[in-house]
Structure 1
Amino acid sequence: MKTTVYFLLSCIAFMPHYVYSFCGFYVAKADTELFNEKSEVILTRDGFETVLTMSNDFKGDVKDFAMVIPVPTVLSRNNIKVVDRYIFDRLNGYSGPRLVEYYDEHPCYRYDYRMMEKMSVPAMEVMEDASGSMDFDDYQVTIEASYTVGEYDILLLSAEESLGLKRWLTDNGYQIPEKAEAILEPYLKSDMKFFVAKVNLEEYGESSYQNLRPIQIRYNHPRFMLPIRLGMSNAKGSQDLIVYAMTPRGRVEATNYKTVDIPSNFNIPTFVTSQFSAFYKDLFAKAYRRNGRNAVFVEYAWDLSSSNYTKCDPCATTPPAYSELIDAGVHWIDYEEVSGWGGADYAGNLFFTRLHVRYDNLHFPSDLEFHVTSNVTSHQGRYVMNHMYEGPIDCQGDTDLHYYLKVKDRREDELDNLVYYAGWDKNKYRSYVSAIDTDIERSDPENKRNNLWFLIKHFGRNMLEYKATPHYQYVVVTLVGILGLVFMRRFALRKKVLRVQ
């Protein structure tokens, strides 16, 4: 029976609910349905020590599952373990792009916002070691080590050339795509080893787990990278990768591709609540195209050190705790009791970066190379909805009219943001702006809003509140420019008069 090979770092889904792309080096038998909807990796780096945790949403018969991963060195048994899937769910829920909802207070008292709700995008026993290494002369493949870890049988292979490795895998029941040979060769030239894992059916049958658990490996090596090229050999279209990276000091960024912050911190219409996943999918796609289809995007970056009491703004969920961070591979922190509001149950420095990469053969010709930077600038995918005040407004003067006009301007800006960031058609949502006209007509039976003095007052109110919309900001710039020209002209004329005298 052929065994399907799953090269893990090949394809990662975009978010839990909106990317269902084929995930990398997958080859199924004709009568077996295998698909991978979402994969992620957790990557921790301290000095040269790297911990890589790999998750997948494999669905199918477990006897047809296998993964092959290039690694820089032969791993000892102590540096391989399986972990629970929950840690990926925790990190995704905490760091995912979020929708923040605010409600306007009564305009008669104080026009302000207060947060009501936060949402994140609903968006991967030891058998005896082989004594010495076993060499297969015909293949020029060496089994450097073999272990059983949890429900997996694991081999560490080295090889002299890619054809021999491909033949060995094929002859041992692994079905390899034709294009794999050319991609294997650069890894062999770099003297990398191959971590091969498949399911131990006896161990899996005795376990209580319903799904295959993530595998975590640890190694020391100067090179800080993810081998994404291997999974492109039979991929159809682009693939998506989510990396949860943690270090003791600063952001993780790519060195061979540009790293950019995902567009964030702007207002969007309230009707996006039910379409947030679709909105973010389109926003990411447009940012991806705008940056040449070969950028690495930062969706979250924050200092989670125990000394920092503000670990997000706002937090979609509680920050990860000590035990969760340990499971994720963060080994340089120590446990301590929580002290004070916002305190952590660990001591030590920690910076968390969430990276999102969409890659293909054309735009990502090489594996992802990373480095740990000293950049500790915070960033998060954060999108704001403001609900207008729906109750009666019975203030003295024109407060109600001023308020409704401001809401209408705000809604225009929100639609403009949809167009610019997500490419949505503004004309489909004109009713979102025109819906406020009824309130404006009711509060302005005398049509005061077209009066020059009223417009000046309205402009002044916006400026005093320091919440002028872009429309008013343009007016301010224009007025300042005009006043500057007038002043310069008067000054020039005065100097001319003085010379004549």
Structure 2
Amino acid sequence: MAREHRGALRHRALLVVLLLLAVQLVSLARPAYACGCGAMVVDPKTALSVGRETSAVRWDGHHEQIVMSLTVDGNARDAAWIMPVPHRATVELGDSRLFDELAALTAPAERTRRYFWPRSKDWPFRSGDVDGAAAPVPGAHGPGVGVVGRERLGPFDVARLTADDPAALRDWLASHGFRLPSTLATALRPYVAQRWEYVAVRLAPAERGGTLRGTLDPLRLSFASDRLIYPMRLSRLARTPQSLGLYVLAPHRMEPRGAIGGSTPKVFFAGRIKPSRTAVGRLAGTRGAFLTAVDQRFPHPERITGDHELRPTATDTSYQRIRYTDALWKVGGTPAWILTVGGATALLLTAAAVVAVLRQRARRRGAPAAPRA
């Protein structure tokens, strides 16, 4: 009986091990998809995750530019990134300073709020420094011709392909050691039907034998478009919640036409940008542009219904977040409440002294005169 029991335990353990191996193999067979626009394809034997995708879009009513920067991690030595575009695109390296400048430009404004009476962290309730501590408060194209262009940009091998010739994408991926996943081929069908094209980029680390890690150099895609479109449809293939941070430079303040299956898009900055020699100023153009920064969450990527299309708002209202710091009101380095209380006390003491003097004088005037001898 004991022998049979031990045999049953070994059989169950073997089944558990096989099940875990099967789950691992299935997970490895899936391509890692980037958040936002585009899809990432890797060798099934490796893994790659996109921790963050930051994008800036410039649109002047006829022409669109998308600058993208990916932060990746994993053990993949290379990967293929597929990006659908509505018209023939040109590709070049972007300015690595752009997103740092955008982050600084759209950061919350710092404001100080003064309060009069001391709080629990101030003297005399708390010994030591009497300064108030910071307290942040939330406030259509012709027939397809396959590969239409190819260039080497830094660590990127870029191929521009037509979407109405899916075999071109499949052959390009195969030539670089990748396989077109059936799910991705299915997701690309709407773009094929609309005669969109796509950009295929092979990502490789700068060092030979290295892996893809960290923030990659930004890529800039430029194409004709009479609508401001940000491709998002491929993100529905993602297996984890996705987020979108989008900087939009256009003649006017812009807003998404809908949530396309995600949370309500939230604007965290809106304001006019003047031409300058900075990366943001050059992207804004010689006439400047209105910058709208949008944040959106996709807890269930499979619910994404299409691409983002943005439209002008009714008015170009500016907006900036504010982060407050509370501080005790001081005059010349001394808390105002001490000066006020001290002054009031001194005034009361003075008044009391005056009253006492007046009373004393009154008593003297009222006292009878002493008799003469």
TM-score by length of 2: 0.64
Match of 2:270 in 1: 301
Task: Write the mapping of 1:246-261 to structure 2, written as runs, cut at 5 A.
Answer: 246-247=249-250, 249-257=251-259
SS of residue paired to 2:158: strand
Please point out which of 159, 171, 192 is paired with 1:155. Answer: 159
Task: Tell me if the contact between 2:32 and 2:42 (Cα under 8 Å) persists in the aligned partners.
Answer: no
Note the C-alpha offset of 1:250: 1.5
Match of 2:277 in 1: 322
In structure 2, list runs of 5 or more residues that go unmatched.
1-27, 119-131, 346-373
Note the C-alpha offset of 1:240: 0.5
Kindly indicate whether residue 188 of structure 2 is the aligned counterpart of residue 195 of structure 1.
Answer: no
In structure 1, list runs of 5 or more residues that go unmatched.
13-23, 109-114, 122-134, 259-291, 307-320, 334-347, 401-501
Please point out which of 39, 63, 70 is paired with 2:84. Answer: 70
Kindly indicate whether residue 306 of structure 2 is the aligned counterpart of residue 366 of structure 1.
Answer: yes
Note the C-alpha offset of 1:373: 3.9
C-alpha distance in structure 2 between counterparts of 1:3 and 1:44, whole Å: 36
C-alpha distance in structure 2 between counterparts of 1:224 and 1:200, whole Å: 30
* Closer/same/farther in 2, CA of residues 118 and 244 from structure 1, 3 Å limit: farther
C-alpha distance in structure 2 between counterparts of 1:146 and 1:61, whole Å: 27
SS of residue paired to 2:50: coil
Match of 1:224 in 2: 228
Kindly indicate whether residue 183 of structure 2 is the aligned counterpart of residue 243 of structure 1.
Answer: no
C-alpha distance in structure 2 between counterparts of 1:146 and 1:119, whole Å: 49
SS of residue paired to 2:182: coil
Task: Tell me if the contact between 2:133 and 2:327 (Cα under 8 Å) persists in the aligned partners.
Answer: no
Note the C-alpha offset of 1:229: 1.2
* Closer/same/farther in 2, CA of residues 160 and 396 from structure 1, 3 Å limit: closer
Match of 2:338 in 1: 393
Identity %: 19
One-letter identity of the residue aligned with 1:380: Q
One-letter identity of the residue aligned with 1:352: L
C-alpha distance in structure 1 between counterparts of 2:290 and 2:338, whole Å: 47
Note the C-alpha offset of 1:84: 3.5
Cα-to-partner distance string for 1:141-179 (whole Å, 9 max, x where unaligned): 7112222223322111124465x4674355332244432
More strand by share: 2
SS of residue paired to 1:56: strand
SS of residue paired to 1:225: strand
Note the C-alpha offset of 1:352: 0.9
More helix by share: 1
* Closer/same/farther in 2, CA of residues 377 and 182 from structure 1, 3 Å limit: same
Cα-to-partner distance string for 1:428-462 (whole Å, 9 max, x where unaligned): xxxxxxxxxxxxxxxxxxxxxxxxxxxxxxxxxxx
Match of 2:58 in 1: 44
Aligned residues: CA RMSD: 4.1
C-alpha distance in structure 1 between counterparts of 2:29 and 2:220, whole Å: 22
SS of residue paired to 2:279: helix
SS of residue paired to 1:38: strand
Specify which structure has the bigger relative contact order, considering alpha-carbon pairs within 8 angstroms and separated by 6 or more residues: 2
Task: Write the mapping of 1:83-162 to structure 2, written as runs, cut at 5 A.
Answer: 83-96=94-107, 98=108, 100=110, 102-104=112-114, 142-160=146-164
Count of matched residue pairs: 290
C-alpha distance in structure 1 between counterparts of 2:263 and 2:344, whole Å: 50
TM-score by length of 1: 0.49
